[in-house]
Amino acid sequence: MKEFATLKKEILDHVKIVFIDIDGTLTDDNEEVSNENIVSIKKLVYFGYKVVLCTGRSNLYTVRKSIDANASEYVITSNGSHVYNYLKNESIYIDDIAFNTSVDMLNYCNDNKLSIIMNGVTKRYKNAFSNKYSAIDKEHKRYKGGFSIDINESDDAIIYDANIIVGEKISQYIVTSDDYNAMSSLKAFVELNNELKVLYLSPNFKQGIIGAEELYRFDITPINANKGVGVAKLLEYLNMSKADAMAFGDGYNDISMFNACGYKIAMGIAV
């Protein structure tokens, strides 16, 4: 985050908390946190700033990256649907999806052979079709399209029966397929549900790129979810204001995070 080094002291004097996107901001194309970023975050925390990762990723993945980066104990995940203190194992805020809605979504994806991953509090749940893509190498995941598929995590649970998620708080679905028409039908299906929205569509889907090696991804969230909501909830919890906050990001889903912070930095590769 070279951009941080250029900030003027009078700005930093007003900041108490820094929100950082993961993909394309904190991490590189190999999903690694650079030594430079680790050092920058260590300095921020040492001088009393809160440093919070704010992402569309799952809790488990984000907590690991937060620990790797020496960031603070709070994370905002699932595109703002979940605000979590991992040192206390405490959900500060969660906009969870109704169980019956998750059952309907799981059945739809199974019937149409779509991969679905459901973000829970401490693990992710995925259907059997998710394994279809786990053997595909990164060249065929269309990273050039601006996203990664994020198929496997070590603690994932396979959903053979919807009963496995009874009592779990699901905050986001990630649906993936190489079938453009099936994803188009899914989009229409989600739009019929007044509880959900497709917050993120992979660039190759938005551009209508159809090909044998294309993979398409949707992030499906509660209707009111976005990163800005998660930021606002954590600021309220910490008794801080928008004027105390700074955000670093690079994508369209970071705009709401920017709007919730008094200071914002769009990274050099921002879209």
Q: Kindly report the average pLDDT of the chain as a whole number.
A: 87
Most confident of 31-35, 147-151, 242-246: 242-246
What is the distance between the alpha carbons of residues 73 and 78, in angstroms, rounded to a whole number? 17
Question: Which residues face 115 on adjacent strands?
Answer: 176
Strands (E), the chain: 17-20, 50-54, 74-77, 82-85, 90-94, 115-119, 124-126, 157-158, 172-177, 196-201, 216-222, 245-249, 263-266
Q: What pLDDT, on the 0 to 100 scale, is given for residue 31?
A: 84
Residue 77: closest CA among 92, 102, 144? 92
SS3 of residue 201 by DSSP? strand
Higher pLDDT, 144 or 233: 233
Global confidence as pTM: 0.88
Answer yes or no: are the C-beta atoms of 14 and 30 closer than 8 Å. Answer: no
- Please write the tens of the pLDDT for every residue from 146-192: 444 454 566 788 888 888 999 999 999 999 999 999 999 999 999 99
Q: What are the DSSP calls for 82-140, one per residue?
A: EEEETTTTEEEEE-PPPHHHHHHHHHHHHHTT-EEEEE-SS-EEE-GGGHHHHTS-GGG
Q: What pLDDT, on the 0 to 100 scale, is given for residue 152?
A: 55
Mean pLDDT, range 16-28, rounded to an integer? 91
Q: What pLDDT, on the 0 to 100 scale, is given for residue 115?
A: 94
Higher pLDDT, 37 or 92: 92
For the chain, helix, strand, coil in percent to 5 are 35, 25, 40
Q: What pLDDT, on the 0 to 100 scale, is given for residue 17?
A: 96
Answer yes or no: are the C-beta atoms of 270 and 250 closer than 8 Å. Answer: yes
Q: Computed from CA positions of residues 216, 143, 153, 92, in that sequence, does the dihedral angle turn out positive or negative?
A: negative
Answer yes or no: are the C-beta atoms of 117 and 56 closer than 8 Å. Answer: no
Percentage of residues in the chain having pLDDT higher than 70: 85
Higher pLDDT, 70 or 267: 70
What order do you get walking across the sheet with 50-54 strand by strand? 90-94, 82-85, 74-77, 50-54, 17-20, 245-249, 263-266
Q: What pLDDT, on the 0 to 100 scale, is given for residue 5?
A: 53
Dihedral of CA atoms 190, 60, 230, 105 in degrees, nearest 10, equals 10
- Please write the tens of the pLDDT for every residue from 69-119: 999 999 999 999 999 999 999 999 999 999 999 999 999 999 999 999 999
Q: What pLDDT, on the 0 to 100 scale, is given for residue 112?
A: 96
Percentage of residues in the chain having pLDDT higher than 90: 66
